[in-house]
Amino acid sequence: MNYNHLTIEERACISKFKGMNLSIREMAKLLDRSPSTISRELKRNSYKTENNYSITSYVPTDAHCKYKNRRLNSHRKINIDCKVKKYIEDKLNKNWSPKQIVNYKDIKPINFPSTCTIYRWIHLGLLNNITMKKLRRKGKFKRPAEKRGKFNIGKTIKKRSKEVYNRNIFGHWEADTVESGRIDHQRKSKYCFVTLAERKSRLYICKLLPDRKEENVTKAIIELLSKFPQELVKTITCDRGKEFAG
């Protein structure tokens, strides 16, 4: 259920309406609020005057300050175990991602946090000298521009027949390459995988290559698909990367 907290302007109106001796329901109607919202607001933030304790007073600025203080103390307190904190900081300093830290099968301290929690701790500055810029993708990952060029052989993906989209017939493959991660926009290794996925069966095959050169990728695709009968290799869909030019 969506709920919008009262604003300082609405609290000023409540104070004005209270001075006009309007009922809670009349205030609620004018502010388009629930009567219970107005009632709770007056109970929480009104106080009895010193001269006559039977009369309550409502000051909008004081009420808004009380609201802000309650908001600050309404969240769950964050308690980080020292061993957990040190373990996470050590891994992040080694260019591990939060997801790698959580999923790595290692002897971790008890009560280990989730990936989202680690990101939240980083945003809140709870880890020593660790910011989003410290992460491998620097918090804002932008894929480097393709410098190897593109090719224009073959049909566009929009002109594939419907049988390819519907996954009704065997023999339609999708090719791609999987590379290593980057540190400071530099590949850690030139090695890559050439992958082929058959759309109907979801069969997935791959081959490790020393680089993404066109002659190596072409040779690998021919080798992988030569094991299948000709009727099971009808089309191959790939991107415009130079490695698929052959």
Tell whether 220 and 174 lie within a shared domain: yes
Looking at the fold, whether 90 and 64 belong to one and the same domain comes out as no
Confidence at residue 160, expressed as pLDDT on a 0 to 100 scale: 82
173 contacts 233 by C-beta, under 8 angstroms: yes
Q: Are residues 173 and 237 in the same domain?
A: yes
Give the pairing type, strands 192-198 and 204-209. antiparallel
| 22-26, 56-60, 156-160, 174-178: range with lowest mean pLDDT | 156-160
Largest CA distance in the chain: 98
As a whole-number percent, the residues of the chain with pLDDT over 90 amount to 37
pLDDT of 144: 60
204: in domain: yes
Q: Which domain holds residue 68?
A: 8-72
Residue 154 has pLDDT above 90, yes or no: no
Q: What is the pLDDT at residue 141?
A: 53
C-alpha pair distances (Å), 237 with each of 49, 143, 163, 241 = 78, 22, 13, 12
Q: Do the domain assignments include residue 141?
A: no
Sequence-separated (6 or more) residues with CB below 8 Å from residue 196 = 173, 174, 175, 204, 205, 206, 221, 224, 225, 236
Residue whose tokens read 């809670």: 24
Q: What is the pLDDT of residues 73-118, one digit of tens each?
A: 777 777 788 888 888 998 888 888 888 888 887 777 677 888 898 9
Residue-wise pLDDT for 192-218, tens only, equals 999 999 999 999 999 999 998 999 999
pLDDT (tens digit per residue) in 12-51: 999 999 889 999 999 999 999 999 999 999 988 888 776 6
Residue 11: predicted pLDDT: 93
CB 210 within 8 A of CB 165: no
Q: How many residues does the chain have?
A: 246
Distance set, CA 162 to CA 93, 168, 204 (Å): 49, 9, 22
User: Do both 64 and 112 map to the same domain?
Assistant: no
Considering the domain architecture, whether residues 86 and 63 belong to the same structural domain is answered as no
Please check whether residues 30 and 88 belong to one and the same domain. no
- How many domains are there within the chain? 3
